[in-house]
Chains A and B, each alone.
Chain A
Amino acid sequence: MAGLLSLDGVTKSFGGVTAVKGLSLSVDEGEIVGIIGPNGAGKTTVFNLIAGIYKPNAGRIIFQGTLINGKNPFQICKLGIARTFQTVRPFPKMTAIDNVIVGALFGRARISSPSSSREYCEKILQVVGLYQKRDRLARELTLAEQRKLELARALATRPQLLMLDELMAGLTSAEISEELEIIRMLRAEHKITVMLIEHVMRAVMQICERVIVLDHGVRIAEGTPAQIASDPLVIKAYMGERIKTGNKPEETTSADQESEASES
C-alpha cells in the first residue's frame, strides 16, 4: 500500500491558542483512519489544514507526492480530497440535488454540464438515502438529512480521500449502522480512503483499522481500536470516560444507554 497523505510537523495557532502542535501522521491508500480526542483537541483544525482552509504555520502536508499546503481549498478538492463539515453547511436555498450537482461539476469529477451530471448525482443521493428528497430545498431537510447531504456532495466530487467530521453525531443507532455500511462500500467499490473524526465510539471501533488520538493539538496515541481502548493515556484524556467497543451489546452499561438515547 502506498502512502496517500502525510503530515510532517504541522503546526497551526490562532492567536495564543496552538490548535495543532507539530503533528505528523500518514494515511495509506484504502485505509479507514479514525481521529478521536476530547472537544477542542484540534481534530477539525487538522481537516481544515488538509483541506486548505487554513495554512499551517509550520510543517508540510503532502498528498500523492505533491506539497499541498499553500493551495486553495478548491484546488485541493480538484486533486481528490473532499470533506464534510462538522457544522453542516448546505446551500440552503438550493435543492438537495442541486447541492450535489455543485460537487459533481467542480470537484475532481469535473462533469461538464448540470444536465449531464443529474443521473450521476441521483445515484449518489440513492447511496446516502436522500433520493426521495432530491427536489426539496436543503434548508427544509432535518439535521440528519443535511448530514447525509454533506456526504453526498463530498462524494459527488469523486474524491480519493474523504474526510468525515462527526458525520454520525445525533444519528440513531440504525442510522449509524447505515452510514458504516456506506463507508465500507465506498472503500470496497470505489477505493476511497477515509479519515473520520467521530465521538460515536461504536462507529470508530467497528470501522477503523487505525485510530489516532489527539489531545491539546498533540497526538497522544495511535493504534488499532483495541489498543486505543486500553491505552491509559487515552483513558486519562477522556477523564475517565470509558471507551466501549460496542461489539457486544450485553456489555453496554446503563449510563451508555442514557447517552445514546440523548444522542438520537
Chain B
Amino acid sequence: MMALNFSVLPGKRGTISSTIVLFGLLCAAVFPLVLRQTNQTSLLLFSIYFVWLTLAQSWNLMGGYAGLLNLGLVSFFALGATVSGASMHAGLSLAPSILLGGLAGALFAVALIPTFRLRSDYFAIATLVIPVLMKPLVEFFIGTDFLVPSADITSAIDQYYIGLVITGFSIFGIYLLMRSKVGYALKAIGEDELASSSLGVNILLFKSIALVVGGFVASIAGSYFLEYIGSINSTIFLNLTYSLFPIFMVIIGGIGTFEGPILGALIFSVVNYSTENYFSGSTYDVLLFSVVIMIVAVLIPRGIAPSALALTKRITSRHSTKAVISQTA
C-alpha cells in the first residue's frame, strides 16, 4: 500500500511545497521588472488573480481545515470592498482602508459564531442567506456606490505589488497558522471531532478562530478588489461568483491541503486568461471552468494536489527501489 502524507503539519513535503510557492512568489515579484515600461499596463491583467488566490486561501481555511461550509464568501468579500471604499471617502489613505475592510470582515465573522454553536449545518444555511440580507443594510448604513477617490488610484505596477503582498501574506500567514497550535487543533478537528475534544481541544474556539482569520482574509481580498476595479455597486453582494468560484478552486486543487487552493486558483487563472484573450468572452471561462470541475470531480475526487503528489511519490519510490536493486545486484 502506498502511504501518503497530505498533512500540512511539519514534514519534508510541506517544506518542499512551501519552498516552491515562495519561489513562485519571488518570480511574480521579479516579473514586472523584466517587462518593458510600455507593457506595464498588462500587469492589470494579472492583478485580478491575486484576488482569486486570496479568496481561495480564505475558503480553504474555513471549509478545508475547519469544516465550516461557507456558501456565502461574497458577504465577506463585498463587505471588505464597501467598508474600504467608505473609509477612503472618509479621508483614510489606501493601506489603512484596506486593513479596515479586513477588520470589518473579522468582526462580521465573530457575529456568525452563534450559527455553528449548535449545529454546523446552520452555518451553511446562514451564509447562503446573509449576503441577501446584508445588501440593504450596507446600502442604508454605508452607501450604494463606491468609487476609489482619485487620490487613492495607484499605478498598474503599484497595484500589482499590493496584490502580491496581500497574496503572499495570506498564503504564508495561513501556512504558519497551520503549523502552530491552532493548526494542530484544526487538523485534529477535521479528522475526528470526538477524539479531539476528548484530548482537550475546544472545538468551538478553534473553528471560530478559523472563521475570523478566514473572514479577515476574504475581506482584504474584497478591499483590494475595489482598488483594482475602481468602482463597485452594492449589487456585488448578490454576485454568486465570489462565493462559488473559490469553492471550486479549492475542490479542484485539493481541499484542506496547503497546495490545493494555490493550484486551483492557478488553474482557474490560466483558463480565465486564455478564454479572455483567445475567445474574448466572459461566459466562456465559466463554461470551460465548469467542464474542468466536472472532469476533476469524476476522475480525481480528492483534487489535483493530493493525486499529483501520490503520482510523484509512486514514481520516485519506484526509482529508489530500482536503485536499491541495482546496488545489491
In angstroms, Cα B6 to Cα A82, docked, is 28
Q: Is B203 an interface residue (CB 8 A)?
A: yes
In angstroms, Cα B197 to Cα A108, docked, is 13
CB neighbours (8 Å) of B6 from chain A are 93
In contact, A105 and B194 (Cβ under 8 angstroms): no
CB neighbours (8 Å) of A154 from chain B are 199
Given contacts A94-B9, A94-B188, contact A74 B195 (CB under 8 A): no
Partner among A95, A101, A105, A107 whose Cβ is within 8 Å of the Cβ of B5: A95
CB neighbours (8 Å) of B158 from chain A are none
> Using a CB-CB cutoff of 8 Å, which residues 16-74 of chain A contact chain B?
51, 53, 72-74
Q: Is B180 an interface residue (CB 8 A)?
A: yes
Q: List 23 A-B contacts (CB under 8 A).
A: A53-B198, A72-B197, A73-B194, A74-B201, A77-B199, A77-B200, A89-B192, A91-B187, A91-B188, A91-B196, A93-B191, A95-B9, A98-B9, A101-B184, A106-B200, A106-B202, A114-B10, A114-B181, A114-B184, A136-B3, A137-B3, A137-B7, A157-B200
In contact, A83 and B198 (Cβ under 8 angstroms): yes
In contact, B5 and A137 (Cβ under 8 angstroms): yes
CB-nearest residue of chain B to A118: B10
Q: Is B179 an interface residue (CB 8 A)?
A: yes
> Using a CB-CB cutoff of 8 Å, which residues 222-250 of chain B contact chain A?
none
Interface of A is mostly: mixed
Q: Is A153 an interface residue (CB 8 A)?
A: yes
CB neighbours (8 Å) of B194 from chain A are 53, 73, 89
Q: Is B106 an interface residue (CB 8 A)?
A: no
CB neighbours (8 Å) of B202 from chain A are 72, 74, 106
CB neighbours (8 Å) of B9 from chain A are 94-95, 98, 114
Partner among B5, B185, B199 whose Cβ is within 8 Å of the Cβ of A153: B199
CB neighbours (8 Å) of A102 from chain B are 184-185, 188, 196, 199, 201
Q: Please give the distance in Å from A82's CB to the nearest CB on chain B.
A: 8
In angstroms, Cα B199 to Cα A154, docked, is 7
CB-nearest residue of chain A to B11: A95
In angstroms, Cα B213 to Cα A263, docked, is 49
In contact, B7 and A113 (Cβ under 8 angstroms): no
CB neighbours (8 Å) of A137 from chain B are 3-5, 7
In angstroms, Cα B187 to Cα A73, docked, is 18
In contact, A113 and B187 (Cβ under 8 angstroms): no
Partner among B7, B197, B203 whose Cβ is within 8 Å of the Cβ of A98: B7
CB neighbours (8 Å) of A82 from chain B are 198-199
Taking Cβ atoms with an 8 Å cutoff, the residues of A that contact B are: 51, 53, 72-74, 77-78, 82-83, 85, 89-95, 98, 101-103, 105-108, 112-114, 136-137, 140, 153-154, 156-157
Most chain B CB inside 10 Å of its own CB: which residue of A51, A94, A137:
A94
In angstroms, Cα B317 to Cα A255, docked, is 47
- Residues 1-42 of chain B, each 1 if its beta carbon lies under 8 Å from chain A, else 0: 101111101110000000000000000000000000000000
In contact, A89 and B195 (Cβ under 8 angstroms): yes
Given contacts A74-B203, A112-B181, A114-B180, contact A95 B7 (CB under 8 A): yes
Q: Please give the distance in Å from A210's CB to the nearest CB on chain B.
A: 25
Taking Cβ atoms with an 8 Å cutoff, the residues of B that contact A are: 1, 3-7, 9-11, 179-181, 184-185, 187-188, 191-192, 194-203
Q: Please give the distance in Å from A182's CB to the nearest CB on chain B.
A: 19
In contact, B200 and A107 (Cβ under 8 angstroms): yes
In contact, A91 and B201 (Cβ under 8 angstroms): no
CB neighbours (8 Å) of A101 from chain B are 184
CB neighbours (8 Å) of B203 from chain A are 74
CB neighbours (8 Å) of A94 from chain B are 7, 9, 187-188, 191
CB-nearest residue of chain B to A88: B195
In angstroms, Cα B201 to Cα A78, docked, is 9
CB neighbours (8 Å) of A92 from chain B are 191
In angstroms, Cα B200 to Cα A93, docked, is 19
In angstroms, Cα B3 to Cα A92, docked, is 11
CB-nearest residue of chain B to A135: B11
In contact, B7 and A108 (Cβ under 8 angstroms): no
Q: Please give the distance in Å from B125's CB to the nearest CB on chain A.
A: 25
| Apart from A82-B198, A140-B3: 9 A-B pairs, beta carbons within 8 A | A73-B194, A82-B199, A91-B195, A92-B191, A102-B199, A106-B199, A107-B199, A108-B200, A114-B184
CB-nearest residue of chain B to A73: B197
CB-nearest residue of chain A to B179: A114
Partner among A51, A91, A103 whose Cβ is within 8 Å of the Cβ of B192: A91
Instruction: Report the 7 A-B pairs with minimum CB-CB distance, sorted nearest first.
Output: A106-B200, A77-B200, A91-B191, A89-B195, A107-B200, A73-B197, A103-B199
In angstroms, Cα B6 to Cα A95, docked, is 10
In contact, B7 and A73 (Cβ under 8 angstroms): no
CB-nearest residue of chain A to B181: A105
In angstroms, Cα B179 to Cα A140, docked, is 22
CB-nearest residue of chain B to A156: B199
In contact, A77 and B198 (Cβ under 8 angstroms): yes
CB neighbours (8 Å) of B196 from chain A are 74, 91, 102, 106
CB neighbours (8 Å) of A53 from chain B are 194, 198
